[in-house]
Amino acid sequence: MSDSHAGAHPDVDELSTELGSRLVRDPELIEPYALDTSRAVSEGAPLAVVLAESTADVSAALAWANRNRVRVSVRGAGTGLAGGAMAYAGGIVISLERMRAVIDVDVPNRLARVQPGVVTADLDAAARLHGLFFPPDPASARISTVGGNIATNAGGLRCVAHGVTSDSVAALEVVLADGRVMRTGARTRKNVVGYDLTRLFVGSEGTLGVITEATVRLKPVPPGTPRTFRAGFAELEDAGRAVTAIVNSAVRPEVLELMDALSVEIIESFHPSGMTVPAGAMLVGQTVGWDAQTQAEAITAMCRDLGADDTEISETDALLEARRLSNPALNARGLKISCDVGVPVAALAEVFHGIAEISARHGKRVSTVAHAGDGNLHSTVESPDTPAGIREADAVIDDITRLALALGGTISGEHGIGSVKRHELGWQLDPVAIDVQLAIKSALDPLGTLTPGRAV
């Protein structure tokens, strides 16, 4: 794979003639497209932003960039936390924000065909008009796009019941790095034709192709009124043990999240919702269906058996809303250095024990929120916003990441690798696996046009 890029004087006018006002070159207007929500540092301004309105626009932009050896970054809403959508200096950004139509909802087959720039919560709302819903539910659902969710294989609050984004994707339309358009998957429940290219593009973080349309799976909205439950624990590790017990029991919570005491205190002071700060941790979750109350009672009883000293069941969503605010709340308190690791769910108590040890060893406070039912943790280190402070916080995060791996876990549960985690790739993947990943990248994008140097 070549990484040579002309950079110097590509003929942008040629692309401008093709795209007209959909190609933006005004430095002030393109500035907001340089960064995403990660802490990756900008390498400089892009040449231009393509505000694509069709597959043809994306194809034209990629064909031009590939011919002229111009690096391309791909952008949904820019809420990514791994630096995958960051612009390249002298590159172009392909933004999908204008391609935001829900093309159709196929009720009998429980499918929706959407453009990639549709906001996740808008797709969910469109499905709910038909008694259906879109299962993936990242905490960013109101600000992120379905294309971005697919490209990162996003997780979220309802994954414990419905799986991650890949479990809800049936088919894709993708534009390859050289501008060719292809389709993957099928509208059927079963489809065993060739390699599973749909799964290959899901989670590929803009490195293999630009998703220009997706056919996604919907589910029927469960009947009855959901119940939200919470359980406060004096010991964080007991909360971990309770999660393991719940996911291995016959009850099926729709949501099972954990916030440690520091996170609850920070979220509550950011947006008071009457949460009592526990000494150790709080589990919050939701049950659905006609037996939602019975299931919530079974879960809170299990929690009390395993050490919870304060439980509650309610019909409001307030606690889950609070959990969704963890990112902005932590950021407002200056907690920005965080990780996204996963462990097998039975290792939760052990990972919490280890994080406490790491926190004590480094003398740094660490807050942890978790999509606990999936064993997916986001630990954030309190640190001053100085180069030394960030280095020290990074050392804590490195130790937590290595701990997760030692427990059979992963360096990313849902945010992806992007640019900020690329140095960790070799911690998890063996050299042969990395070779295979690079071979796939090279086969689809031999000139290294599309999101080069990231994700793999």
Ligand X SMILES: Cc1cc2nc3c(=O)[nH]c(=O)nc-3n(C[C@H](O)[C@H](O)[C@H](O)COP(=O)(O)OP(=O)(O)OC[C@H]3O[C@@H](n4cnc5c(N)ncnc54)[C@H](O)[C@@H]3O)c2cc1C
Instruction: Give the footprint of ligand X on this chain (CB under 6 A).
Output: 36-37, 73-81, 84-85, 96, 116, 138-140, 144-145, 147-149, 151-152, 154-156, 205-206, 210-211, 327-328, 414-415, 418, 451
For ligand X, give the closer residue by CB, 174 or 358: 174
> Minimum Å distance from CB 170 to ligand X?
16
Distance from C-alpha of 122 to C-alpha of 129, rounded to nearest angstrom = 11
For ligand X, give the closer residue by CB, 139 or 303: 139
Q: Report in angstroms the alpha-carbon separations of 242 from 21, 143, 184, 232, 407.
A: 56, 32, 41, 11, 18
> Minimum Å distance from CB 359 to ligand X?
23
For ligand X, give the closer residue by CB, 79 or 300: 79
> Minimum Å distance from CB 139 to ligand X?
3
> Minimum Å distance from CB 271 to ligand X?
13
> Minimum Å distance from CB 144 to ligand X?
3
For ligand X, give the closer residue by CB, 238 or 409: 409
> Minimum Å distance from CB 140 to ligand X?
3
> Minimum Å distance from CB 421 to ligand X?
12
For ligand X, give the closer residue by CB, 74 or 288: 74
For ligand X, give the closer residue by CB, 306 or 337: 337
Distance from C-alpha of 158 to C-alpha of 138, rounded to nearest angstrom = 8
Q: How many C-beta neighbours within 10 Å does residue 4 have?
A: 8
For ligand X, give the closer residue by CB, 206 or 253: 206
